[in-house]
Amino acid sequence: MKRRKFLFKIFYAYTAIVLLYTFVATGVFFQKTNQFMNYQLLNSHKEFLQQVRDKSDTQMSVALNIVQQLKWNPKIMKYSQDNEKNFYEITKLSEDLATTVNSFSNYGLILGVQKATDNFIITSQFTDVEDHYFQTLGWSPTNYLEREAYLSNKTKYPILLVHHYQNDTNTSSRYVTLVKKEVTSTGGEIIFYISFYENMMIPRLDTNEQRGFAVLDANGIVTMSSPDPLSVENAILGEKLMEMKSSFEYRNIKRGQQVIHFVSSLVLPDTKYVYVTDMHSLQEQVAALLGDSMLIFLILLLLGAVILPIVSISTYRPYSTIVQANEKLLEIAEKSKLSLKEKYLRDLLFGYISSDQIEQRSKEFSMERIKLPVTVVILEVSQNEDWAEQFSREGIRKMIAQLQIMIKDNLNGAEHELLEMDSSRFTIITFGLHTEELEAVIKQMVSSFQQLVHLDLTALIGKPAESLSGVQESYQAALELLELRYMTTVHQPVMTVESIGSIADTSYYYPLDMERELISCVVRGRQDQVISLTKQLTQENLFKRNLTKSRISELLFALAATANRILQQLKRDPNDVFVKGYNIYTELSAYESHQELEMKIEGVFCRIVNYQCELLKPDEPVLADQMLAFIHGNYHKDLSLNDVATHFKLSEGYTGRLFKDRTGENFKSYLNMYRVQVAKKLLDEKNIKIDDLAKMVGCNNAITFTRMFKKYEGISPSQYGKQSAGD
């Protein structure tokens, strides 16, 4: 009996321990899983808000850049000074605005320009008086007052973001308008109006928990999207978000059963993006969590009844999800550390960090013991209007990626940091390389890049600095070189502060116009003109000017770069044109006298002409017809001049000239006209949605297709379809 009682005591004690342990473990699992789900939800809302902010800020940044470009437009400056309306100049200005709008068609913007002294507004499609134009944009009387206060300098903000949200009607205009007043270099005042479709700036809310999204500044709500706008407005006003002046990356406030997420704009001052969501309710997940928890409870209870060690091991299983989450958080933290270092380097370049903070921040990223001097190099891939015709977007991305690899390979032995400033410009911060050594490395890299790929590259080497605090000065020096590059007649792929200093007195003669002419003559096979041009260059530089050996080296580097560009344009391998392993710059540099160098320069370009003439002997009319057949069979694809040239194994220049001679139109115009003709035939046969029709004829953007159709037919595709159906 005592044994049985003792046995029951042991059983009851063991059962109590197992039950207590099981309940505790199940409760912890329930709580931690709920916390993790809330954490994931909060992060998803934060990421969504930041993505919308970045998209909207990009639109605003594009708008401000357009204003800065147009501010220096000669037609704008002339228009600002004209006392009377010159409708011919106004038409020309409207065409310029249309070109600008078409260049940014994917942003869906509307552009208007007005003199401060006139009520006449010029747009990319029409001209109008200001009252009717503002009515078109859906302005309210309050908007007129905002504009008047801004134009009379009664507001302290340099930019006006027009408030379109109407709290008395709970409606919004379909446009969001940015107003910017500028003074041209001639002293005239111009007002720019750049409007975006509201649905391109604020997101569409699809789920029930998304209560609303709003854009606001210090004066109130600019625009809002919400099924319950009054609730969102009360939340914004209740937390006094408009009164927060300081900039911040992300914040959230819990208000009742709602969470208010908000971030500051990185482009517009005192502008914030607000996202209101319902707080995650525990009741929404109780059923699922209880089911899992009860299963865990029964498993633990069963295993505890069998053997204690098995229970101990099994109780760890509910924590596996939490462990994985922690590892993921650590991985995210490591990646964030790299992005923080990049932000620190950018702040150094732009001078956002004081000298007192540099030492402290450098220790965070293990940069307190760097080699000196510190030098900033700007690398810029030249952009021109032929890019879209010559190369596909994927091809350009691959060439930029190749450049990044080459930068790392060429600077492999030196400490450096590489920052991508935009799609065509990079900044390198080098440590421990003096200007002469760095210039030699950069020259070799630029020459190799131009010989391998189809884009021009310019390198600008700033002034070396003796500490991290001098990085900004070095960067500014490189930027000044970037500006000076457009003011000189000398084409230099690699420029330093020292080389530009005496350029007016001892520079070589090789203007950009002559380079373009030389490239054109070689591509077209005009050997006599090639010889004449090289003779002019060598006579001027080798016999008339007293150039130093260093300046002659720079001239040879520029000529080698020109030869490489020609070979790339002709799609010819230097090893086929010359001999294997032939380096144009190296061979030109090995001269004994100026007479020998003159013959070498002429020989390089004549060799390319002769090689090209030997290969290009097809029947041009037949070849042109084959090109037209190729276009007619592939118009529905993302087709470029480069694709046609590649298919027929020809250069873009030769292909474009042959096409122009055959059709009288350039490639892009002919392709667009043909696409419009095909679209008309399809509309004559059946009713097709504009989006589907655009894709069928090779246009990925329906807005671009509509403008293209209207350009050649005078009416939109939908109007043409209605006329065709009526006939």
Annotate 186-232 with DSSP letters as a single string: TS-EEEEEEEEEHHHHSPPP-STTEEEEEEEETTEEEEEE-SSHHHH
In a domain? residue 34: no
- Which of 275-284, 454-463, 513-522, 538-547 is least confident? 275-284
Is residue 186 domain-shared with residue 92, that is, in the same domain? yes
Q: How many CB atoms lie within 10 A of CB 393?
A: 11
In a domain? residue 355: no
Does 331 score more than 70 pLDDT? no
Distance, in Å, from the CA atom of 303 to the CA atom of 25, rounded to the nearest integer, reads: 14
Chosen domain end from 506, 538, 561: 506
Is residue 480 domain-shared with residue 397, that is, in the same domain? yes
Is residue 658 domain-shared with residue 690, that is, in the same domain? yes
Does 321 score more than 50 pLDDT? no
- The letter for the amino acid at 11 is F
Q: What is the pLDDT of residue 117?
A: 83
435 neighbors 351 (Cβ within 8 angstroms) = no
Using DSSP, state whether 594 is helix, strand or coil: helix
Please, what is the end-to-end C-alpha distance for the chain in angstroms? 107
Sign of CA dihedral 494, 499, 500, 503: negative
In a domain? residue 94: yes
Q: Which of 61, 72, 177 is nearest to 121 (CA)?
A: 177
Distance, in Å, from the CA atom of 216 to the CA atom of 236, rounded to the nearest integer, reads: 9
Q: What is the DSSP string of 683-718?
A: HHHS---HHHHHHHTT-S-HHHHHHHHHHHHSS-HH
pLDDT band at 500 (very low <50, low <70, confident <90, very high): low
Q: Identify which has the larger pLDDT, 69 or 279.
A: 69
- The count of residues in the chain is 727
Sign of CA dihedral 267, 268, 272, 275: negative
Within a 13 Å sphere around the CA of 387, how many CA atoms are in the beta-carbon half? 15
Q: Identify which has the larger pLDDT, 414 or 113.
A: 113
Does 316 score more than 50 pLDDT? no
- The letter for the amino acid at 453 is V
Is residue 274 domain-shared with residue 130, that is, in the same domain? yes
Distance, in Å, from the CA atom of 429 to the CA atom of 379, rounded to the nearest integer, reads: 11
Q: What is the rounded average pLDDT of the residues 462-486?
A: 78
Burial 287-298, CB ≥16 within 10 A → b, else e: eebeeebeebbe
Q: What is the pLDDT of residue 104?
A: 80
pLDDT band at 599 (very low <50, low <70, confident <90, very high): very high
Chosen domain end from 615, 645, 673: 615
Q: What is the pLDDT of residue 675?
A: 92
- The letter for the amino acid at 371 is K
What dihedral angle (degrees, nearest 10) is formed by the CA atoms of 96, 97, 103, 108? Answer: -170
Q: What is the rounded average pLDDT of the residues 537-565?
A: 87
Is residue 186 domain-shared with residue 75, that is, in the same domain? yes
Is residue 68 domain-shared with residue 171, that is, in the same domain? yes
Domain of residue 695, CATH code? 1.10.10.60
The 3 state secondary structure assigned to 342-409 is HHHHHHHHHCCCCHHHHHHHHHHCCCCCCCCCEEEEEEEECCCCCHHHHCCHHHHHHHHHHHHHHHHH
Q: Which of 544, 50, 33 is nearest to 262 (CA)?
A: 50
Chosen domain end from 259, 278, 297: 278
Task: Give pLDDT tens digits for 665-702.
Answer: 888 889 999 999 999 988 888 888 888 888 899 998 88
Please give the residue range of the domain that contains residue 236: 47-278
pLDDT band at 172 (very low <50, low <70, confident <90, very high): very low
- Which of 162-171, 185-194, 317-326, 475-484 is least confident? 317-326
In a domain? residue 215: yes
The percent of residues above 90 in pLDDT, for the chain, comes to 4
Distance, in Å, from the CA atom of 451 to the CA atom of 656, rounded to the nearest integer, reads: 22
pLDDT band at 157 (very low <50, low <70, confident <90, very high): low
0.85 surpassed by pTM: no
Q: What is the pLDDT of residue 319?
A: 41
Residues near 292 by beta carbon (within 8 Å), at least 6 away in sequence: 29, 33
The percent of residues above 70 in pLDDT, for the chain, comes to 77
Q: Identify which has the larger pLDDT, 120 or 406.
A: 120
Q: What is the pLDDT of residue 386?
A: 54
Q: Which of 102, 101, 120 is nearest to 111 (CA)?
A: 101
Residues near 27 by beta carbon (within 8 Å), at least 6 away in sequence: none
Q: Which of 260, 266, 201, 270 is nearest to 233 (CA)?
A: 260
Domain of residue 468, CATH code? 3.30.70.270
In a domain? residue 572: yes
In a domain? residue 531: yes
Is residue 149 domain-shared with residue 204, that is, in the same domain? yes
Q: What is the rounded average pLDDT of the residues 591-613?
A: 87
Task: Give pLDDT tens digits for 83-109.
Answer: 788 888 888 888 888 888 888 877 778
Is residue 58 domain-shared with residue 172, that is, in the same domain? yes
Distance, in Å, from the CA atom of 285 to the CA atom of 315, rounded to the nearest integer, reads: 22
In a domain? residue 467: yes
Q: Identify which has the larger pLDDT, 292 or 605.
A: 605
Q: Identify which has the larger pLDDT, 453 or 7.
A: 453
Does 484 score more than 70 pLDDT? no
Q: Identify which has the larger pLDDT, 108 or 47.
A: 47
Is residue 177 domain-shared with residue 202, that is, in the same domain? yes
**Taking every pair of C-alpha atoms in the chain, what is the biggest distance, in angstroms?**
125
CA angle, residues 694, 695, 698, in degrees to nearest 5: 90
Q: What is the rounded average pLDDT of the residues 298-311?
A: 59
Q: What is the pLDDT of residue 44?
A: 83
Is residue 711 domain-shared with residue 667, that is, in the same domain? yes
DSSP 627: H
Instruction: Tell me how far CA of residue 317 lies from CA of 29, 218, 307, in angstroms.
Output: 10, 51, 17
Q: Identify which has the larger pLDDT, 472 or 16.
A: 472
Distance, in Å, from the CA atom of 196 to the CA atom of 268, rounded to the nearest integer, reads: 15
Mean pLDDT of all residues in the chain? 77
- Which of 138-152, 208-222, 328-342 is least confident? 328-342
250 neighbors 46 (Cβ within 8 angstroms) = yes
Is residue 532 domain-shared with residue 672, that is, in the same domain? no
Counted domains in the chain: 4
Query: Of all residues in the chain, what percent are helix, strand and coil, respectively (each to 5)?
Result: 60, 15, 25
Residues near 656 by beta carbon (within 8 Å), at least 6 away in sequence: 389, 641, 666, 667
In a domain? residue 446: yes
Is residue 232 domain-shared with residue 117, that is, in the same domain? yes
Helices (H), 72-162: 74-81, 87-103, 130-136, 141-151
- Which of 323-337, 512-526, 593-607, 634-648 is least confident? 323-337
